[in-house]
A and B are shown apart, each in its own frame.
Chain A
Amino acid sequence: NAGVTQTPKFQVLKTGQSMTLQCAQDMNHEYMSWYRQDPGMGLRLIHYSVGAGITDQGEVPNGYNVSRSTTEDFPLRLLSAAPSQTSVYFCATSSWGNTEAFFGQGTRLTVV
């Protein structure tokens, strides 16, 4: 089992460019979420999903879009990248049967 797979691991964007961060899981978990990690700020929730076709906003959703068409995938879209979106992004999954959240290895994004 791969668990939670994030791609790419590193990315450099120019201001105004768009891109999609990929997250895939093979754990059959209902819940998926995206966090950003910034120094001194911990992990802040961007968007989350409680199942296919259902998404909701977290603490810092502005500038990001998500969709959940399948149980396995939960992509995060940056529509027009800004330097303030320079961060490390983590995808996580969890389920009713297991209270633990499982994390991907992260995507380090730099917007110049």
Chain B
Amino acid sequence: AQSVTQLDSQVPVFEEAPVELRCNYSSSVSVYLFWYVQYPNQGLQLLLKYLSGSTLVESINGFEAEFNKSQTSFHLRKPSVHISDTAEYFCAVSASGGSYIPTFGRGTSLIVHP
């Protein structure tokens, strides 16, 4: 079984400041790692994922996450946030070679202030 811990329930930042949302996972098997974003009153959508290869993965809107196997972490970063990045962010893990049904963390609410 896998589990995910998101260390911050809420992260307030000012616009154009950098941000890091922290995620640690636990698993006895190899995993795939994901960040999903949920805008108000919507479903979840994939932001980025790590399957294999380069440990640094990027999204099209400037977010990046780095897989650190030794620290079992997959932190999400953005060098300069916008008001439109205000949303709930979920870290998720699934067993590689499994059924791709992810286990989610409790979520981090990113609040960007002008």
Interface residues of A (CB under 8 A from B): 4, 31, 33, 35, 40-45, 48, 50, 90, 92, 94-96, 98-101, 103-106
Contact = CB atoms under 8 A, between A and B. Distances in A.
B44 A42 contact: no
B101 A104 contact: no
Contacts, number: 60
Given A94-B101, A98-B100, A101-B46, 13 more contacts: A31-B99, A40-B9, A41-B106, A42-B90, A42-B107, A43-B44, A45-B103, A48-B101, A99-B32, A101-B92, A103-B43, A103-B45, A104-B43
Nearest to B42: A105
Q: Which residue, B32, B92, B94, B99, has most C-beta atoms of chain A within 10 A? A: B99
Interface residues of B, number: 24
Interface of B: 6, 9, 32, 34, 36, 42-46, 49, 51, 90, 92, 94, 99-107
A81 B104 CA distance: 25
Given A101-B46, A105-B43, A33 B104 contact: no
A48 B104 CA distance: 14
A63 to B, nearest CB: 20
A45 B101 contact: yes
Nearest to A48: B101
Nearest to B105: A42
Given A43-B90, A105-B42, A106-B43, A100 B101 contact: no
A101 B24 CA distance: 20
Q: Which 7 pairs, one residue from A and one from B, show the smallest C-beta to C-beta distance? A: A103-B43, A42-B106, A43-B104, A94-B100, A103-B44, A42-B104, A100-B46
